[in-house]
């Protein structure tokens, strides 16, 4: 039930969805609901791309932390996400998840500025609209339930 509300009906024909995606491309508004263009092709791909994105966030944040780079030291001029962006703000880990996402956006803002100052493309070229933040929380909760310790 929750999966379908976030990602869509996974029972739609996978091959037909991929064929449609390759023939017609992604919807023009894919950035409003998906982490990547390919994620818009089918709910399974949305799940897979969101899952992979979550793992990239966690791994990169662990790496940043190992070098002492924390979001607490970053001056950030954007509006952080609040509980309204979440899939389920009542979950026990909702606050920690929200901190992870906002810290990630702080860190990547610095990394993007550094890349730009070197004439390079953005380190993190993605946007995380609220529907993607909600999907990422769902992935976060699935992982937390599989590993309660």
Predicted confidence (pLDDT) per residue in 55-109, tens digit: 999 999 999 999 998 998 888 888 899 999 999 999 988 999 999 999 999 999 9
- pLDDT at res. 149: 63
- pLDDT at res. 109: 93
To the nearest 10°, the Cα dihedral for 28, 137, 83, 105? -70
- pLDDT at res. 76: 81
- Interval 16-49: pLDDT, tens: 999 999 999 999 999 999 999 999 999 999 999 9
Judge whether 102 and 71 are in contact, CB under 8 Å: yes
Residue 148: pLDDT over 70: no
- pLDDT at res. 1: 56
CA–CA distance, 6 with 8 (Å, rounded to integer): 6
pLDDT band of residue 146 (cuts 50, 70, 90) is: confident
CA–CA distance, 28 with 88 (Å, rounded to integer): 28
Q: Would the pTM of this model clear 0.85, i.e. be above it? A: yes
3-state per-residue secondary structure call for 107-126: HHHHHHHHHHHCCCCCCCCC
């Amino acid at each position: 039930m929750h999966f379908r509300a976030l990602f869509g009906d996974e029972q739609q024909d996978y091959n037909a969805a991929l064929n449609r995606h390759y023939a017609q491309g992604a919807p023009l508004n894919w950035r409003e609901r998906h982490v990547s263009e390919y994620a818009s092709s089918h709910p399974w791909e949305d799940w897979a791309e969101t899952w992979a994105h979550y793992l990239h966030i966690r791994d990169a944040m662990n790496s940043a932390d190992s070098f002492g780079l924390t979001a607490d030291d970053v001056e950030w001029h954007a509006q952080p996400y609040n509980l309204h962006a979440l899939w389920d703000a009542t979950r026990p880990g909702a606050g920690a998840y929200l901190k992870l996402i906002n810290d990630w956006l702080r860190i990547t803002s610095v990394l993007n500025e550094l890349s730009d100052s070197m004439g390079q493309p953005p380190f993190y070229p993605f946007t995380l609209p609220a529907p993607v933040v909600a999907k990422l929380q769902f992935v976060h909760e699935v992982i937390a339930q599989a590993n309660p310790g």
